[in-house]
Amino acid sequence: MPAACETRQPSRRPATLLAALLLAAPLLGASCAWGQAPAPLAERLAEIREINRFVPEKALPMLQAIEPEARAGSVQDKVELLAHLCLAHYYLGKFDQALAVCDELVRLGRLEKNNAAVAKGLLHQAYVKYAQNELALSHTLIWEAERLAGTTNDVELRMRAGISSAEAYAEDGNFPRALEGMQAIVTWTRKHGDKVHLVIALNSMAKLYVTMRGYDKGFEALDEAMALAAKTVSPGRLALLKATEYRLAVGTGQMTRALQAQLDELALQRELGAHSAVPYSLVNLADCYLKMHDHRRALAYGLQAFEAARALGNENLVATARVNIGQAYLAGGRVAEGKRSFEQGLAIYEKLGSKPELQAVLAEYGNALERAGDHAGAVHAYHRERALSNELFEKRRQKAMLELQEKYDADRKQRQIELLQRENQVKSVEIDNRRLQQRVWWLLAVVFALASVVVGLLYRKVRHANAQLYRKNLELKQQSVRDPLTGLYNRRHFQEFMRNYESADQRADQRGAGVSGDEMVSALFLLDVDHFKHINDTWGHGAGDEVLIKLADSLREILRETDMIVRWGGEEFLAFLPALPKSSLDEVARRLLNGIADTHIVFQGTRLSANVSIGFAPFPLGPGGEPLSWERAVNLVDMALYMAKGHGRNRAYGVCGFANFGRTSMEEIEQNLEQAWRAGFVEMSIVTGGYPELRASA
């Protein structure tokens, strides 16, 4: 589970509105009792508004009951109705209905030239698109809504749009801009808003500090919000503050405080009848108990969360509950039940198409199986996670190449436009010259000289532009074979290299004797960063990128200039070493393990270091003098790498050769390398590293 014990489903909900008693439903009908006239429509909408924020399942039928009256009322009444209907559908996970109502709200606002209505519609559309994992579109909608909200006098709308804008910058990784925006909206709210508005803004500030791991400042903002909230009567808003306290406590390792905050939030939700929010708290409680190694309670809350999520019809929450139940079973020794529950959760994530989420769950699955002693299952889970990681990595690489190509095409079009403009200028000059020739013959020589100078300058500029285009083409070709993050060769370049690698004469030369008659070989080394997901989860993806960059630099220092180093995918590196003594492979592995462990990595004031697991083998490799293809050799090295993972990490397993080959086959060895090794059919070398697996210091 994520470090902050939060549910996996994206859940940016809008800031709460004006303070009111949440269970205000009786007020809606009280004015009709004893023959009294109903309250004005605007008052009833205001009363429903706060109920909608915390108990949407109760608010939706109330809104539907007054919908005919509101649609027949004023433009403002219709705007408020549509805004609340959109949010109610969104809160209940009915995204198609929510988007349809939001579209109607935007059309109404544009028809009436009402910027506040358009801003509300765009903002609510952004929340839905965020929940559907369309982050780029969500951010675009938020920033347009913020621009329109700034033209209105609606305090609450401007505050809510400003908070969402800061959150969008944080999701893009632009934390300085996010913090600047959040501080500005808190300052603005102090001046223009009331106590409830300030509670909302301070709570959002505290949550941003959680994301930035600025926990001290987060607690300061939360304490001020708690003090202000105590002066209002709103159990729902207190529940939101308890949720933020829970995240801050988990982030600072105060698990007892986190647990109490989550229990308080759950009690408030049940008191309010906020059934749509209860499953999230149950999932968080199960996750927290897992982190506290209380597997019995984790299982109990996981089962409750599963039932509540299934009743709510939220498949993402059902999948999360299944994973928590599986972890509890595995930790309690019930391996078969744990695997079954995990697989059920994974099946839902696959159906939903959430591949980043599926990758994270597969990594958790592998770790849980490894702790439960099911090493074969763990290796299988790691294989699935790595295959998905490679797929996502390739998509990101293709996206980067497309962006680079688009930039290149745009530059080329701009150059063409400039050339056309210059050509037009030349034509204008020629026309002017002809007119001058007809009128002033004695200036003909001067005009021709001037035209020649202009054409010469243009010719030089065209040559300069062509030279720049040639350099850009060279850069593009170089970037197509390099990994954009580390500068190492990419997988495609290595595959093309190996298809053309070494003629028969070159291989014969390579097999000559080295020092003291030692056989000369090439070698393949496949390295995988240990616990790389933990680095990303703990310090963020920026830290993960910094680790990969520094490890790439270390590999260049440790290996020779003639060795090919490849970013194989995700956190994996492949090194191809030509022409070295076969007896030196173990020493190379030892240098790699220790050299990488000594790599100095600093990210945002924190010193990090990481280890790798390695699989290696000489190349060419094969039994009976029949070498395997390079693809099969890499596959064997990959299996050796996962043996190193499964046997404790921070070590290297090398395939040295084969024995008793008459009793087995290459296909059987490739099916299960470890079993073949233990049966005596494969000769392996094991090199262990001498440093701890992961360290960090301020």
78 contacts 71 by C-beta, under 8 angstroms: yes
Residue 244 confidence (pLDDT) above 80 = yes
Whole-number pLDDT of residue 505: 40
Residue 266 confidence (pLDDT) above 80 = yes
Whole-number pLDDT of residue 647: 93
User: Which class is domain 8-153+221-273?
Assistant: mainly alpha
Cα radius of gyration (the chain): 32
518 contacts 569 by C-beta, under 8 angstroms: no
Residue 434 to residue 430: CA distance in whole angstroms: 6
Whole-number pLDDT of residue 203: 94
Q: What is the pLDDT of residues 557-574, one digit of tens each?
A: 999 999 999 999 889 999
Tell me if 8-153+221-273 shares its fold with 489-697: no
For residue 41, CA distances in Å to 28, 33, 66, 120, 692 come to 10, 16, 8, 20, 67
Q: What is the pLDDT of residues 445-463, one digit of tens each?
A: 665 677 677 767 776 886 7
Query: Can you give 251-314 as a three-state secondary structure string?
Result: HCCCHHHHHHHHHHHHHHHHHHCCCCCHHHHHHHHHHHHHHCCCHHHHHHHHHHHHHHHHHHCC
Residue 204 to residue 206: CA distance in whole angstroms: 5
- The helix (H) or strand (E) run that includes residue 576 is strand 572-581
* Residue 206 confidence class, pLDDT cut points 50, 70, 90: very high
157 contacts 120 by C-beta, under 8 angstroms: yes
22 contacts 51 by C-beta, under 8 angstroms: yes
Higher pLDDT, 399 or 153: 153
* Residue 637 confidence class, pLDDT cut points 50, 70, 90: very high
The SS3 call for residue 524 is strand
Higher pLDDT, 19 or 323: 323
Residue 317 confidence (pLDDT) above 70 = yes
For residue 209, CA distances in Å to 97, 131, 488, 698 come to 34, 22, 35, 19
* Residue 400 confidence class, pLDDT cut points 50, 70, 90: low
Residue 529 to residue 571: CA distance in whole angstroms: 6
Residue 548 to residue 543: CA distance in whole angstroms: 9
Range from 9-13, 297-301, 471-475, 502-506 carrying the lowest mean pLDDT: 9-13
Residue 569 to residue 553: CA distance in whole angstroms: 16
- For residue 240 the two structure tokens come to 């939101």
Residue 691 confidence (pLDDT) above 80 = no
Pick from 558, 557, 553, 560: nearest CA to 579? 560
Query: Which fold would CATH assign to domain 277-373?
Result: 1.25.40
- For residue 508 the two structure tokens come to 């014969």
Whole-number pLDDT of residue 504: 44
Whole-number pLDDT of residue 1: 37
Whole-number pLDDT of residue 35: 41
- For residue 374 the two structure tokens come to 């099911």
Q: What is the pLDDT of residues 493-550, one digit of tens each?
A: 999 998 887 544 444 445 444 444 578 999 999 999 999 999 999 999 899 999 999 9
Has domain 489-697 been given CATH number 3.30.70.270? Answer: yes
- Inter-axis angle of helices 215-229 and 195-211, to 10 degrees? 160
Range from 262-266, 358-362, 483-487, 564-568 carrying the lowest mean pLDDT: 358-362
Chain mean pLDDT for the chain: 83
- What residues does each domain of the chain span? 8-153+221-273, 277-373, 395-480, 489-697
The sheet carrying 572-581 orders its strands as: 489-490, 564-569, 572-581, 520-529, 612-619, 651-658, 682-688
Pick from 560, 548, 568, 554: nearest CA to 493? 568
Residue type, 399: K
The sheet carrying 694-697 orders its strands as: 601-603, 606-610, 694-697
Pair type for strands 612-619 and 606-610 = unpaired
* Residue 469 confidence class, pLDDT cut points 50, 70, 90: low
114 contacts 79 by C-beta, under 8 angstroms: yes
Q: Within 13 Å and on the Cβ side, how many CA atoms surround 398?
A: 6
Q: What is the pLDDT of residues 41-55, one digit of tens each?
A: 888 887 888 787 778
Cβ neighbours of residue 13 under 8 Å, at least 6 residues apart? 53, 90, 91, 127
Q: What is the pLDDT of residues 593-626, one digit of tens each?
A: 999 999 989 998 889 889 999 999 999 888 866 7
Q: What is the pLDDT of residues 80-129, one digit of tens each?
A: 889 899 888 988 888 999 899 999 999 999 999 999 999 999 999 999 99
238 contacts 258 by C-beta, under 8 angstroms: no
Whole-number pLDDT of residue 684: 93
